A and B are shown apart, each in its own frame.
Chain A
């Protein structure tokens, strides 16, 4: 095994680990300061006693912006695995996908100010954060382009993990592109605190992360429990989740654009139709999330035996039995072929 033979899922986790290690202590000290402030009644963040709430926002977002990358990066790793497997191809630009994970991890630490465009930081600070935020689009776009390029001329099949990956690419792209509207200061002043923001982060976090989680769950479920779930039900659930999700959150982009603010129960009558559509979508989405719980639980106990490698996938986890034994390998395995060595064996094999 070498760095450039690591699965992209592992690369994504490496980047995630860096963020967790560097970000979490900062939110820890923010918590300590809040606790001591409450106990001793001295202003560090509370303006009533001479504190500065903007300072709290800075320290909070220094962790909490990278935290969204803690959520999405493993999801991106899953998508890289699933798309390579069901396209039967080595991921296009493997090195770039790996490097873009690290790029997102690093850039993620210098963009937190885009949460604070209208909360009292200076305009010049805002301009710098806006500029840096645009840069995050670069590694994210590299990933999306490389996933689609991986499928190009691949032997694509449509198993349920792959359906979730398709959903991920579409929803994450919309989520990412609407992020550009929000990182532009001029448009953010209008869109800040509206349903546009709600729709944006749900496209990234639910359309992105939760869907990627479901892709990974379906991909590795036969490995986790050794049994296969019902593929027709899985496909049905994937389609229903995709439909329900879009019906829930697409109207919210429009609502936000029209100026409906977040965090209010009431809204003017002209927003009624879009809100009803969104509620209907949420009902479909909520129901759809229950379906995998049922057939996956059923598969855990009564599903047909899956075998060690139901997808004919590459990677060390598929070499061992399902479910894996406590000590995965008797001896530490030596990897002698390239990562994602899909396709005709002899052609790609490294001596």
Chain B
């Protein structure tokens, strides 16, 4: 089994050091710190919407529970499974890059790309269904079978639904673009045991976007199905 061999290929690794770094270890540290810093800003960015959600869920619990019945739990659950699979293939892609396995890397990246695309296509159909059912907040908001006293507050949940899943989808689209870039680079045989940091960093981003969805799914889809 080939292991990750930093020490033997020390000189080899230095080939990939950009001019403003002293050595590959420093470059790796800087890249990792930068990515985690970016992810922290992302947590705070989504945090504003989660704060708004917490406030309105607390203010209008019944309206939110009633509105959640309009979400399609089966599709949401299926999409959750798709995203979790994409995280697995992404993790395997990073592993393949570290082991210099080019074919496996390309395969897992394409797998991740397919899972991500499935998620986005399903999401598009879900949005379309909401549009057909008049569930877009605003003047055309006419849900069937919603108690009239919830009309107003129900729109707030749908507003948050579209903001949060929409912002998540934007991040997914960016992720799909990054994966395409990675696949092209992997095809050109750029990545190997000495040069995998790009794959690992985009992997971190991909996992982060997944984790956001893991929070969104129960908060938006499941609150009406839990009665206490």
- The chain A residues found within 8 Å of chain B, CB to CB, are 21-26, 28-30, 32-33, 36-37, 40-44, 49-52, 55, 58-59, 332
Contacts and interface: CB of A to CB of B under 8 A. Distances in A.
A46 B155 CA distance: 13
A40 B130 CA distance: 15
Contact of A42 (B40, B51, B59, B155): B155
Nearest to B49: A29
Nearest to B153: A50
Contacts of B59: 52
B189 interface: no
Classify the secondary structure of A's interface with B. Answer: helix
Contacts of A41: 137-139
A33 B42 contact: no
A43 B22 CA distance: 52
A21 B37 contact: yes
20 contacts: A21-B40, A24-B41, A25-B45, A29-B47, A29-B48, A32-B163, A33-B48, A33-B49, A33-B52, A33-B163, A41-B137, A41-B139, A42-B159, A43-B152, A49-B155, A50-B152, A55-B55, A59-B48, A59-B51, A332-B22
A320 to B, nearest CB: 18
Nearest to A29: B48
B199 interface: no
Nearest to B167: A32
A32 B48 CA distance: 10
B55 A36 contact: no
CB-CB nearest 6 A-B residue pairs: A29-B48, A25-B45, A25-B44, A42-B137, A42-B159, A25-B41
A41 B163 CA distance: 13
A45 to B, nearest CB: 9
Q: How large is the interface on B (under 10, 10 to 19, 20 to 34, 35 or more residues)?
A: 20 to 34
A285 to B, nearest CB: 38
A42 B167 contact: no
Contacts of A30: 48
A37 B56 CA distance: 15
A59 B48 CA distance: 7
Contact of B46 (A29, A40, A51, A58): A29
A128 to B, nearest CB: 17
Nearest to A59: B48
Nearest to B152: A50
Given A26-B44, A40-B162, A42-B159, 10 more contacts: A25-B47, A33-B163, A37-B159, A41-B137, A43-B156, A50-B155, A52-B59, A58-B51, A59-B48, A59-B52
B123 to A, nearest CB: 18
A43 B46 CA distance: 19
A40 B37 contact: no
B42 A25 contact: yes
B41 A22 contact: yes
Contacts of A33: 48-49, 52, 163
A115 B216 CA distance: 31
B66 to A, nearest CB: 15
Contacts of A51: 156
A104 B111 CA distance: 47
A296 B55 CA distance: 53
A44 B48 contact: no
Contacts of B51: 55, 58-59
